[in-house]
Structure 1
Amino acid sequence: MGQGDRRQWVALGVLVLPVLLISVDMTVLGFALPYLSEDLGPTSAQQLWIVDIYSFMLAGLLVLMGTLGDRIGRRKLLLVGAVAFGLASVLAAFAGSALMLIAARALLGVGGATLMPSTLSLIRAMFVEPPQRRIAIAIWSAGFSGGMALGPVVGGWLLEHFWWGSVFLINVPVMVLLLVLGPLLLPEARDPKPGRFDPLSALLSMATALPVVYGIKTVAEDGLSATALAGIFVGVGSGVLFLRRQRRLADPMIDLTLFANRRFSVSLVTNVLGVFAMVGLLFLVPQYLQLVLGLRPMTAALWMLPASVAGVIGALTAARLARWLPLPSLIGGGLLLSAAGYLLLATLGTDSGLAALVAGFVLVGVGISLSEALANDLIISAAPAERAGAASALSETGYELGGALGIAVLGTVATAIYRDGIPQGAPEAARETLGGAAAVAEQLPPAEAAGLLHSAQEAFVQGLHVTAYFGAALLVYAGIQAMVLLRNRDRKPAASAALPS
């Protein structure tokens, strides 16, 4: 392998750094929340904003930032985003109030919106040959899965040795490394003829994503309300106006003809459905480990580690298997494998061993990571090289919407079943969540506490079962859809591509 090829793969390692960090940030905050809440004393509404503002800003700005990267240069946007992300991390770490932390988390969302589409679109520019690009995107996907695996473990270790702000400060050295190595190793890439920038399209894109994600998350947290429905209505209405404007513009922010490409549209929908199912699972499994099986948070995180490691293996295996097997079969097969994992999780009980949970979760992790690594490759390769930033942003926006919908729909279903299983005379806190039931039980005599906890745990497991069956059915549909709709458009398996040595 030549020096140029080796430089490409080293540059890929630089691009994986921010992806790894962003995925760590997605899971680490949950561990820090009790500590920062004790220190800053946020209200319940402020606590929700601390958690949610990051994903709101990320979802609202991804399309704009992806298009901006195509115009001004994806490396330039990546480096600007690294500065913003690093400064916001310092601000968050030393926040002296809940409002200051909310502002810092919002800035982190702005920075994250520049980093994610820039990394994927730069891979499109750096790796022109399909076999090498497939391997590069698989490594990128593995970095994302690896970060989600490391988040709980890193968070648990930091919080045992340092204060809660340390979970944000770990971002700073990684951003500094990116700023040093990025200009040396990463090429610049942009659309040579971007056309006119349309500010109204930019505003409409944000007015579409922000209210929709806000409405969905509000439904997940508080149930259906006028506020949630208003947010979704405003977002959908803005989306309709956005699409109409894109059809009329000579230089649209999003090239809607991309959706006529079956590879692009089917792969995008496949990823959304996969994330939908996966996030619903991630919402319930940690609670099952801690509140049903009684494991400590750090122990629960370690039991979830095999599934995340399996996700890394699934993503890396995808590029290898694609040399010999058709992509539709691989993508669909991965989703069907995940569905089998969900069915295994539907066998869990209040006194089950950990073997079934770990085995089921591993199947889900391997299958979804394998399918999404290949689907991402199809999404990026289907778009023209000059519009890679916009295509990457659409893919990332699909992740955000799929995740929000997964928590809202599957979380709502599980909560409804849980409430139905709690005795009518139980305190409202016990009827709201399993954690609430555990807190109420601590104040009751032993016999009453045991009865309430047993009812609550049984109700929670029933909700988990229904969610697992729902997720399995969804993944079976997504797998069959991928096999059928991608079948006639699939290329022959690509020639072998060697990894760097």
Structure 2
Amino acid sequence: MSPQIAPLAGRREWIGLTVLLLPLLLVSMDVSVLYFAVPFISLDLHPSATQQLWIFDIYGFVLAGLLITMGALGDRIGRRRLLLIGAFAFAATSTAAAYAHTAGALIGARALLGIGGATLMPSTLALVRNMFQQEKQRATAIAIWTAALTSGIALGPILSGFLLERFWWGSVFLINVPFMLLLVVLAPALVPESKHVQGGRFDLPGSVLSLGAVLPVIWGVKELAANGVSARPLAAIGVGVLLGAGFVWRQRAAAYPMLDLALFRRPAFGGAIAVSVIAMFGLVGFAIFTTQFLQSVLDMTPLKAALWSLAPSLVVGGAAPGAAALAQRGVRKAHLVCGGFLIALVGFAALQLVKATSPLWLLLVCAMLYAVGLVVVMSLGTEMIVGAVPVEQAGAASAVSETGTEFGGALGMALLGSLGAAVYRHEVPVPAGLEDSAGTIRETLAGAAAVARTLPGPAAHDLLTSAKAAFSTGMHAAAFGAVAVMALGAVIALIALRRVPQVAADPAPAAAPAELDLVA
């Protein structure tokens, strides 16, 4: 009996993909959309320093903590159904955030917004896996999905700056509402429903353990990045690891586990998650340096810096589709992923040439190189993850992939950020007579700039020049650390993905798998 051939997607599926990009763009933009809005929120709501941090972080914490739960839930109740529920929730909580009158209300709305986002992200990728079952088409669709995800993160500050020049701070949340309503109208007509009919009872204890494992680890890593090594974040990470072990034990023992742990024995799954985590480590972990270099070293306004940061996107946008096309031409994915890491390595290594007095184009070329390489890795990694699992487990697999990238980004900020900050503190000189301001000067480049504004012209110039040079040295150290991690990623790709087969053509379309409940 010949093996069943995957069905080909048609026009409806490709139009449906564009519909699925709506929630993906908005959820990824909401990670970065507050960058410019915080000063306006502070003037209006007067949050404490702790509340301001929670306004920023609570969305990402809740989102990361619930991804696995929502992915498994979508597999059971239907991914499109969960997507529509999430769209309503995202629209409602965006409205609540826009009209929040206190800092506490905004924190609560951002937490609820994270719940809505957690329903949307794994659902979109799982539905893409269901709609595009032929391998070549799926690779192209996921390349587009990856490009939309990275574009959303980059566009968040741009959209925020544009809206804040014309409207009040709540507009950065309210912009979500019309797009979510559009999703609710279009998805039922263009996106087919899919679920695992025999998914069994939902594993509530496993859900609690997954939330308890992910949340303290992500929080602990971000705290280490922001405030350095201390007992509380280390204890939180330890608790998360213990609860993670409990989650693994639960998945082994449960009659209907949220996640089939046997998937991790597949090289295309476990290896792809590993390289995706490393890619996000470099991409997110280094973003703070390029952003600060544009704003604090080159003295750009936030909006101008955000617009210039989009310049590499003209090339980066073609990286994911280009990698998918090469894979379809028979280039092994292990070699492509390794090549992506090596391109990123060259980009990070070239950052050693960037000084405070360097031309802007040099920084942008370096950023373009490492972003191209890492987007190639992320695109191929995501495609291998969802392609390695049965369609009925696509939601849980998508959630694991996205949880891994959240963890990789947080770890990158912690390790690369801490390395750069440590070198900056060591290198920046404190001028004579400013010993009382030494802590502020050594804390950040922005702190040194604040002190410089209180000094007469020549003294201010000397302090800023030395602080910018120290920041550049810290950036070089972080880039050197990223080079080492990219080299490790290249080696892991060659070893862990060596058994992943080349893309094989599906000669003819076939019917959808019988075990799925497909509703037009």
TM-score range, shorter chain: over 0.9
Query: Which of 227, 250, 271 pairs up with 1:266?
Result: 271
- Correspondence 1:466 to 2:477: yes
Tell me how far apart the structure 1 counterparts of residues 443 and 504 of structure 2 sit (CA, whole Å): 51
State the AA in 2 paired with 1:273: I
- Correspondence 1:342 to 2:348: yes
**How far does residue 140 in structure 1 lie from its aligned partner after superposition?**
0.7
- Correspondence 1:417 to 2:423: yes
**How far does residue 26 in structure 1 lie from its aligned partner after superposition?**
2.1
Tell me how far apart the structure 2 counterparts of residues 74 and 28 of structure 1 sit (CA, whole Å): 27
Is contact 1:89–1:168 with CA below 8 Å preserved after alignment?
yes
Tell me how far apart the structure 1 counterparts of residues 252 and 325 of structure 2 sit (CA, whole Å): 39
State the AA in 2 paired with 1:47: Q
SS of aligned partner of 1:346: helix
Tell me how far apart the structure 1 counterparts of residues 202 and 299 of structure 2 sit (CA, whole Å): 55
Q: 1:360-391 CA distances to partner (integer Å, 9 max, x unpaired)?
A: 11111211111211111100011111111000
- Correspondence 1:360 to 2:371: no
**How far does residue 494 in structure 1 lie from its aligned partner after superposition?**
4.2
Is contact 2:31–2:60 with CA below 8 Å preserved after alignment?
no
Aligned to 2:36: 31
**How far does residue 311 in structure 1 lie from its aligned partner after superposition?**
2.7
Tell me how far apart the structure 1 counterparts of residues 83 and 366 of structure 2 sit (CA, whole Å): 37
**How far does residue 239 in structure 1 lie from its aligned partner after superposition?**
0.6
Aligned to 1:298: 303
Is contact 1:322–1:494 with CA below 8 Å preserved after alignment?
no
Is contact 2:220–2:237 with CA below 8 Å preserved after alignment?
yes
Tell me how far apart the structure 2 counterparts of residues 404 and 411 of structure 1 sit (CA, whole Å): 10
**How far does residue 495 in structure 1 lie from its aligned partner after superposition?**
6.6
Query: Which of 286, 290, 294 pairs up with 1:289?
Result: 294
Distance 1:3 1:366, change over 3 A: closer
Tell me how far apart the structure 2 counterparts of residues 479 and 386 of structure 1 sit (CA, whole Å): 31
Aligned to 1:223: 228
Query: Which of 427, 433, 438 pairs up with 2:438?
Result: 427
SS of aligned partner of 1:49: helix
State the AA in 2 paired with 1:354: L
Tell me how far apart the structure 2 counterparts of residues 112 and 53 of structure 1 sit (CA, whole Å): 12
Tell me how far apart the structure 1 counterparts of residues 56 and 261 of structure 2 sit (CA, whole Å): 33
User: Which has the larger displacement, 320-329 or 391-400?
Assistant: 320-329
| Structure 2 counterparts to residues 58-457 of structure 1, below 5 A | 58-324=63-329, 325-423=331-429, 425=435, 426-457=437-468
User: Which has the larger displacement, 269-278 or 191-200?
Assistant: 191-200
State the TM-score, normalized to the length of structure 2. Answer: 0.93
Is contact 2:9–2:132 with CA below 8 Å preserved after alignment?
no
**How far does residue 487 in structure 1 lie from its aligned partner after superposition?**
2.1
Q: 1:4-55 CA distances to partner (integer Å, 9 max, x unpaired)?
A: 7111111011111111112222222101111111221111101100000011
Tell me how far apart the structure 1 counterparts of residues 466 and 507 of structure 2 sit (CA, whole Å): 56
Distance 1:441 1:4, change over 3 A: closer
State the AA in 2 paired with 1:463: G
State the AA in 2 paired with 1:329: H
Is contact 2:206–2:258 with CA below 8 Å preserved after alignment?
yes
Tell me how far apart the structure 2 counterparts of residues 62 and 344 of structure 1 sit (CA, whole Å): 36
- Correspondence 1:481 to 2:483: no
State the AA in 1 paired with 2:409: G
Distance 1:61 1:492, change over 3 A: closer
Tell me how far apart the structure 2 counterparts of residues 47 and 152 of structure 1 sit (CA, whole Å): 18
SS of aligned partner of 1:291: helix
State the AA in 2 paired with 1:454: T
State the AA in 2 paired with 1:455: S
Q: 1:216-248 CA distances to partner (integer Å, 9 max, x unpaired)?
A: 111111111221112111101101111112112
Tell me how far apart the structure 2 counterparts of residues 204 and 142 of structure 1 sit (CA, whole Å): 32
**How far does residue 455 in structure 1 lie from its aligned partner after superposition?**
2.1
Is contact 1:311–1:368 with CA below 8 Å preserved after alignment?
no
SS of aligned partner of 1:121: helix
**How far does residue 331 in structure 1 lie from its aligned partner after superposition?**
1.3
Is contact 2:31–2:59 with CA below 8 Å preserved after alignment?
no
**How far does residue 445 in structure 1 lie from its aligned partner after superposition?**
2.2
**How far does residue 196 in structure 1 lie from its aligned partner after superposition?**
2.4
- Give the number of aligned pairs: 497
Tell me how far apart the structure 2 counterparts of residues 4 and 404 of structure 1 sit (CA, whole Å): 36
Tell me how far apart the structure 2 counterparts of residues 375 and 399 of structure 1 sit (CA, whole Å): 11
Tell me how far apart the structure 1 counterparts of residues 368 and 408 of structure 2 sit (CA, whole Å): 21
Tell me how far apart the structure 1 counterparts of residues 507 and 134 of structure 2 sit (CA, whole Å): 11
- Correspondence 1:43 to 2:48: yes
Is contact 2:342–2:373 with CA below 8 Å preserved after alignment?
yes
State the TM-score, normalized to the length of structure 1. Answer: 0.96
Percent identity of the aligned residues?
48
SS of aligned partner of 1:31: coil
Q: Which runs of 5+ in 1 are unaligned?
A: none
Task: Give the superposed CA RMSD.
Answer: 1.8
State the AA in 1 paired with 2:43: E
Tell me how far apart the structure 1 counterparts of residues 249 and 314 of structure 2 sit (CA, whole Å): 43
**How far does residue 3 in structure 1 lie from its aligned partner after superposition?**
12
Is contact 1:326–1:493 with CA below 8 Å preserved after alignment?
no
User: Which has the larger displacement, 18-27 or 77-86?
Assistant: 18-27
SS of aligned partner of 1:140: helix
Is contact 1:153–1:301 with CA below 8 Å preserved after alignment?
yes
Is contact 1:431–1:437 with CA below 8 Å preserved after alignment?
yes
Tell me how far apart the structure 2 counterparts of residues 114 and 250 of structure 1 sit (CA, whole Å): 24
Q: Which runs of 5+ in 2 are unaligned?
A: 1-6, 509-520
Tell me how far apart the structure 2 counterparts of residues 87 and 346 of structure 1 sit (CA, whole Å): 47
**How far does residue 339 in structure 1 lie from its aligned partner after superposition?**
1.1
Tell me how far apart the structure 2 counterparts of residues 189 and 492 of structure 1 sit (CA, whole Å): 25
SS of aligned partner of 1:491: coil
Tell me how far apart the structure 1 counterparts of residues 480 and 291 of structure 2 sit (CA, whole Å): 18
Is contact 1:18–1:115 with CA below 8 Å preserved after alignment?
yes
**How far does residue 75 in structure 1 lie from its aligned partner after superposition?**
0.4
SS of aligned partner of 1:29: coil
Tell me how far apart the structure 2 counterparts of residues 18 and 309 of structure 1 sit (CA, whole Å): 23
State the AA in 2 paired with 1:490: P
Is contact 1:131–1:496 with CA below 8 Å preserved after alignment?
no
Distance 1:485 1:3, change over 3 A: closer
